[in-house]
Amino acid sequence: MSGEEYFDNPNNQASLSLMRSGAIYKLIFDYANDQLFYVQPDQACVVHNLTNDDNNLLFGLSFIKGLPHVFTTSGVLHFAKKFGEQYIGKTQIRGVYVDHWRTCMYWSAVKANFTLDYYFTDQNWVTAAGWPQIPVRAEVTGVMIQSDGTTYKIHHYYDYTDFRAAVYADHTVFETPSGVVCPGRKQTRMIPQLNQAFIYREEIIGTGGVQEVDVYYDDNYSLLRYDFRPSGQWPYGNNDAAAEIHDFNTGVAYAIDKALQNCSIIPIQNGSFDSTINVTKSLSTNAFVMRMKTPKQIFYLDSNFTFEGQRFARGLLCDVFISNRSDFSLGGFMYAAVLEYYFLAMSQTSANNDGNTNPGGSDIPIQLIVTLPTVPQTITYMFYDFDQENPELTVFDISPCFSGADTISFKLTFYGTYDAPVRVYKQLFLFETLNAVAAATGASPLRITSPQFYFQDDKAFFVATLVDAAPVLAKFKQIPGMVLQNHNDISYTSISSAQDCASYCYTNTNFTCLSFDYCPTSQICSLSRYGQDDGKTLATNAQCSHYLKTINMNSKPEVPLQTAWMNLKNNVTKGAVQITINFPNKNMQYTASDVSNAITTGQSRNPSAVSTLNQFQLLNNKVVPNYDDLILTGLSVDDCAASCVTEDAFVCSSFEYDYNSGTCYLSHIHPDETPKLIKNQNGFDLYIRDYTAKFSKIAGTTVLSNSDTIYQNIYDENQCAKLCVDYNGFNCKSFDFCTDIGTCFLGKTHYYDAPQVNIKSDLLCNHWSRNYMDDFKKKARYQIPLVNNRIVSGIDASQCAKLCVQEETFSCASFNYCGNLTECRLTTNSIKGGQVIAQSNAYCDLYTRQSFPDGTAYTPNPSKYYKTKPTKSGYTGGSMAGLAIGMIILGIIAAFAGLMIYLKVAHKTTDDVAIQFKRHFNDETDG
């Protein structure tokens, strides 16, 4: 058996490691806390009281001021005058010249009577360590009395090797090994305390590689966001970088694909690392209710942790805590695990560089090592940039989850004096106003998105976007194929969707509805005051699903978008939207005096950010004077563009916008056709209608070589697109444009519908087909009842729009598109004019038709768009005379047609005269 001893008298500590038959046993002597740790080869640990343990003889036990203390060096070796040492003489041990000493001793603790021979190096012997005399051997010879009174002889040899008169190893030799849990260990350092809000970056190192996660936690607002890269699981379907925002006020999670800016609104999952079952409420109310984990719960910090000493991690001195537990969550499963936490040592400091008021604080986590013995697997979590500050509310940005009719952008105006010293507090103005707006609207601060604050000398502006509430169905956990047994309190029939059933449950005032069953086949909705997800209360039913409310059992329904907007306007009118800014020497109160949803901020003129503006070409500081057909005031630039596109009194081809006054000038002039009309004018921007925005381009392709309608001397694709949009002879669905011969071919056929034989490759020509989505306004996660409908499956939303525009059996006014079913639902119903009311739906989007292909406003009367005249039967005198003249003209047309076919094939141009060829099938009557 071999051993390794470490002895440190000044710090009152010692340790002994023994190796026997390849197994290592370790004894840690903690004199400061009167503890002796026995660590077995299998890493099991037992804690004994040091004072009462026989092995305190190894290093001795004395008391200083009543506290246990290790012996002195001579005491540990049991070599001193008080032991009656006698010098025997000089000899050799293991080839080393030594001095031989002997003493007789009796140890009452083990009832041993023995002779102890000590051999120290000769004074003239030079040791490797450079110390004058060190022990070489100790020999024990004697007898020991056993418990039954019998004796047996003992004769032990203890050879000392590599003896040093100082401890050169680090302090960990006096601590229990890493990963070893010692039940019953005294708690000598308080469990770390974390604030109610923090931000950090996490690096997770496992067998499969390294993952990175950013976490923003705010228990005060019950919000959490974590950024990560999913592995393709639902609801992402890919591994693009993602951000998931959890709102524990409503039980809703916003899963955002940061690359594509897609968003799925779903219930918070019980397997999420930040959620847990509210056991107290679950037991008292028979309800499945989740809640946000506290900071300690997220980090598993509880009384099961004990302080085990100090070690280094990433070069930092850390206080280390350890726990053996059975509730470690990984991948939705619970595992037995050993958790070893490294927190920055109390003697160290941390200073962040984010400019917040708290430069670092104490109890900063540095590293967590998780050992899963049953897997087996070890996972290491590295914590970086840990900041115990409230995250800025702007990081919980859910704006990608809402668009169009689900949002209202607005501006608040605060009058006052805003000089340089005041503007330093811009961020404080921003967040105080954000909270004031949330209170005024009755909506969660989460729904006040993209907030900005601007200063002028005598006024300031708060600009933000108010978004709608999350779909009610997203606040319930679905259990497919199950129903609640014998606990349905109210049932409704003829309920068309689970979303409608969820609305009944959420708004029920008779009792607190905690769950509901919905059967789509029978359209029965059953509400219940009970909410459990276990097999005792649920029964199998393949035709139905059970839905559980997840958060805040007694929460009232969220404020709808229009109600929140009305609340804000009313509170501003009453002067109730106020903020208080705490300056160093005084507090100042500011009151919002004006609110408007016509935003005209010259600071951000970015047409690509607004879909309607994408239909226009921008010329900065340009106007076309004296051609204004309509002047509108108080509009934002995107509202001005929308007014131009939907104008039905005339065909709006361009508009000018004055950013200083918010004035919009609509015009029928298309400046590209007469460039000399364009003049310079500072402060104005000219937007020219880009008709190609309504088409999708297929480069290097022709489809309409056999077209009946051809225009010559057309010099850009925008002109050709305008001819197609304005054409009344037929419903123009596409066009070809060949740049080398300046020719525009209009067609009745969409690229999707063209025969394959007509699709040809031509590097000098491009084909453009109608983009029907531009004719519709989208309202995300809503649907309307279907009337005179047509349902088509297996297509995308753009193809659904095409079917609606081309529908001939009824006037298609809108359509629902449900992505989960790839189902297109055409209908004559529309929310325009209050015809029907849109209903929330977690999986469907509503598209309402706004205009015909030429930009005129849509009405449910196709003849207004096509402007066709009725055809009369028979032949009048006029028609017969026309026929005679027509035969003469026909010869002329045939000659030109032959010339055009030749030029088209040869790609040669004619003169500058624009010639149009059209085929007429009906004579016009003379009345």
Query: What are 690-704's pLDDT values in tens digits?
Result: 888 778 889 999 998
pLDDT at 639 over 90: no
Mean pLDDT of 890-912: 40
288 torsion bin: left (phi>0), alpha (psi -120 to 50), beta (else) = beta
| pLDDT tens readout for residues 333-391 | 788 899 999 999 988 888 776 655 555 567 899 999 999 988 888 999 999 999 988 88
Q: Provide, rounded to the nearest whole percent, the portion of the chain with pLDDT above 90.
A: 29
| pLDDT tens readout for residues 415-433 | 999 988 899 999 899 999 9
pLDDT at 97: 94
Q: Which residues have C-beta within 8 Å of that of residue 224, sequence separation ≥ 6?
A: 215, 216, 217, 218, 245, 246, 248, 274, 292
Q: What is the mean pLDDT of the chain?
A: 80
pLDDT at 687: 92
pLDDT at 871: 35
Q: Supply φ then ψ for residue 17, to 5 degrees.
A: -115, 130
Q: What is the pTM of this model?
A: 0.59
pLDDT at 890: 40
pLDDT band at 442 (very low <50, low <70, confident <90, very high): very high
pLDDT band at 892 (very low <50, low <70, confident <90, very high): very low
| pLDDT tens readout for residues 815-856 | 999 888 888 999 988 887 677 888 888 788 899 988 776 556
Mean pLDDT of 97-109: 85
Q: Distance between CA 536 and CA 926 in Å, rounded?
A: 84
Mean pLDDT of 222-246: 88
Mean pLDDT of 302-320: 91
Mean pLDDT of 401-409: 88
Question: Which residues in 230-251 are b (16+ Cβ under 10 Å) and which e?
Answer: beeeeebeeeeebbbbbbbbbb
pLDDT at 302 over 70: yes
Amino acid identity of 809? Answer: T
Considering only residues 306 and 234, tell me which one the structure prediction assigns the higher pLDDT: 306
Give the number of other Cβ atoms within 10 Å of residue 316's Cβ: 16
Q: Distance between CA 351 and CA 367 in Å, rounded?
A: 18
pLDDT at 317 over 90: yes
Mean pLDDT of 485-503: 89
Q: Distance between CA 657 and CA 637 in Å, rounded?
A: 7
Within 13 Å of residue 905, how many CA atoms lie on the same side as its CB?
A: 5
pLDDT at 486 over 70: yes
pLDDT at 898 over 50: no
pLDDT band at 521 (very low <50, low <70, confident <90, very high): very high
- Name the range with the highest mean pLDDT among 436-445, 815-824, 858-867, 893-902: 436-445
pLDDT at 602 over 70: no
Q: Distance between CA 356 and CA 663 in Å, rounded?
A: 42
Structure tokens at 381: 């979590």
pLDDT band at 492 (very low <50, low <70, confident <90, very high): very high
pLDDT at 906 over 50: no
pLDDT at 672: 76
Q: Supply φ then ψ for residue 646, to 5 degrees.
A: -95, 5
716 torsion bin: left (phi>0), alpha (psi -120 to 50), beta (else) = beta
Considering only residues 549 and 353, tell me which one the structure prediction assigns the higher pLDDT: 549
Considering only residues 216 and 21, tell me which one the structure prediction assigns the higher pLDDT: 216
Mean pLDDT of 221-226: 91
Which candidate, 360, 446, 389, places its Cα nearest to that of 199?
Answer: 389
Three-class SS of residue 75?
helix
pLDDT band at 495 (very low <50, low <70, confident <90, very high): very high
pLDDT at 284: 37
Mean pLDDT of 271-295: 53
Structure tokens at 414: 């605060």
Structure tokens at 353: 């560089």
Q: Which region among 724-733, 780-789, 793-802 has the lowest average model confidence (pLDDT)?
A: 780-789
pLDDT at 535: 52
Beta strands in 603-718 (DSSP E): 616-623, 630-632, 654-658, 663-667, 679-689, 695-702, 709-711
Q: Which residues have C-beta within 8 Å of that of residue 623, sequence separation ≥ 6?
A: 656, 665, 678, 679, 680, 681, 684, 686
Q: Supply φ then ψ for residue 173, to 5 degrees.
A: -65, -20
pLDDT at 331 over 80: no
pLDDT at 534: 52
pLDDT at 883 over 50: no
pLDDT at 318: 94
pLDDT band at 116 (very low <50, low <70, confident <90, very high): confident
DSSP state of 1: -
pLDDT at 277: 47
State the sign of the Cα–Cα–Cα–Cα dihedral 606, 609, 612, 615. Answer: positive
pLDDT at 82 over 50: yes
Q: Provide, rounded to the nearest whole percent, the portion of the chain with pLDDT above 70.
A: 83
Q: Distance between CA 576 and CA 580 in Å, rounded?
A: 12
Query: Number of H helices and number of E strands within the chain?
Result: 12, 53
pLDDT band at 640 (very low <50, low <70, confident <90, very high): confident
CA dihedral 198, 204, 210, 212 (to 10 degrees): -20
pLDDT at 558: 85
Q: Which region among 159-168, 203-212, 480-489 has the lowest average model confidence (pLDDT)?
A: 159-168
- Name the range with the highest mean pLDDT among 59-73, 135-149, 626-640: 135-149
